[in-house]
Structures are given as structure tokens and as C-alpha cells.
Amino acid sequence: MRFVSGMLLVVFCAMPVVAGDWLELSQGSKLSDWKKVGGGATYVIEDGVITGTTGPGKNTFLTRGPYSDFILEFEVRCDAELNSGVQIRSHQYEKETPQESKPGRIREKGEVYGYQCEITSKTNRENGCAGNFWDEGRRTRWLDTTVNASEKQAVYKAGEWNRFRVVAQGNRIRSTVNGVPVADFKDDRDDSGFIGLQVHSIKPGTGPYSVSWRNVRIRKLSDGEQVP
């Protein structure tokens, strides 16, 4: 509060997000703090639930950030026919770029690449399961090669709400699904970048399919903080 020319003014200031504070990302009725990139999927928010629905074109992402060291928590429910994921520390190509894992494939300017926490109702290739990390648009491989995919996939409940927790701290990244540890690996490629809610592309003539997120929140980690 302060006095100006005999009047009492009450000034409200937005509090900055600091280490230790949870930032709620799926509150309200608008997505104005998010940016959609990629294909033609659509996103809406209603009663704190963000829902993405398939559309034409390539993979689509609803992005926010950048963030560096953090804990990210969310609940997700995905149609069994749809593959989805949540990007962390991710980026967009600034120009046409050969894909690292297959140089003959050219990634277009604006395409997303980086760490993706997988959301799926089934195992996908070796080590691929809900909670493991895929290097989207770049190395295109699973990043924790020690994960027993069939064992960990059983933790995920298809068609139901599932709780995910992602911890990114320094070069270490880990995840839990419904309270069960899944991925835990180290990688030095990215120490900061946006998060992104993915709606995967689908074959023409199929769908539409949807994936929904709720209780999405993120907390910045302080230097040297011990996270169980």
C-alpha cells in the first residue's frame, strides 16, 4: 500500500515463480499462456482439463516455457488408439536440418525435437513404454535402455487417469507412473527448453482421438536440492 496525493492506493504485484513454489499450468479457462506448434490438432481447456484432439498434418504440441531444473507433475488420460507424450527441455528447429538418426530425412523449420516422456497404452519397440523417454525428432530412440518395457507398461492403466511425475535435474532425468519408478537416465544434450503436450499424428481416415491432461503443475528446483 502507498499514499498518493492524499489517496490510499493498494497495489497488487504478481509474485515471481521461485524455487519451492508450484506453478499450476492447467487452471482457468484460457490457454493464453501456451503456444501451439506443429500440426492441425486442436486444444481446449474446460474445468481445469486440457484436451487435445487429433487433426490433419504432423504431430502437434501445446508448449510452455522454457524450464531448466524442475519437477513436473500431471495426470493424463489418452484414447487407447492414440500415442501421446509430454516434451521437456525441448526446442524447435531454426532451419531445415538433417535428422541425426537418419540424415536423409530433413526436419523442417519449426519442427519439435527433444526429450519426450511417452504416453501409450502398449509397448512400442525395444524399451518403449509409458514413462520412458523418446528423443523426438532427433536421435529417435529410447533414452533409458535399461527399462523392462513389458513390466513397466503394466503400471499404466489404458483409458483411465494416470499420474506422471518427471524430475529433470542437471543431466539426470527420471519419471514415475502411478507412483512406480520407470525411467532414470543421464543425458547432456539439453539443460533447458519448453514443455509440450503432444497430440500424435494419425493415419488419414482414422480418428478423431483425444488425450486429456489435468492437475498439470511444475516446480523449479534450487541448486543442489535433494529430490527423492
Can you name the CATH fold of 21-220?
Jelly Rolls (2.60.120)
Contact assessment for residue 135 and residue 107, using Cβ atoms and an 8 Å cutoff? no
- Confidence (pLDDT) at 14: 40
**pLDDT value, residue 184:** 98
Q: What is the pLDDT of residues 130-153, one digit of tens each?
A: 999 999 999 999 999 999 999 999
User: How many Cβ atoms are within 10 Å of 30's Cβ, its own excluded?
Assistant: 8
**CB–CB of 23/97 below 8 Å?**
no
Q: How many CA atoms lie within 13 A of 137 on its CB side?
A: 25
Task: Please list, in sequence order, all residues whose beta carbon lies within 8 angstroms of the beta carbon of residue 86, skipping any fewer than 6 positions away.
Answer: 72, 74, 76, 116, 117, 119, 164, 166, 195, 196, 197, 198
Which letter does DSSP use for residue 106 in this model?
Answer: E
Tens digits of residue pLDDT in 55-86: 999 999 999 999 999 999 999 999 999 999 99
**Is 11 a residue whose pLDDT tops 80?**
no
Cβ neighbours around 80 below 10 Å, total? 10
pLDDT higher at 124 or 203: 203
Written as nine digits, the cell of 227 is 529430490
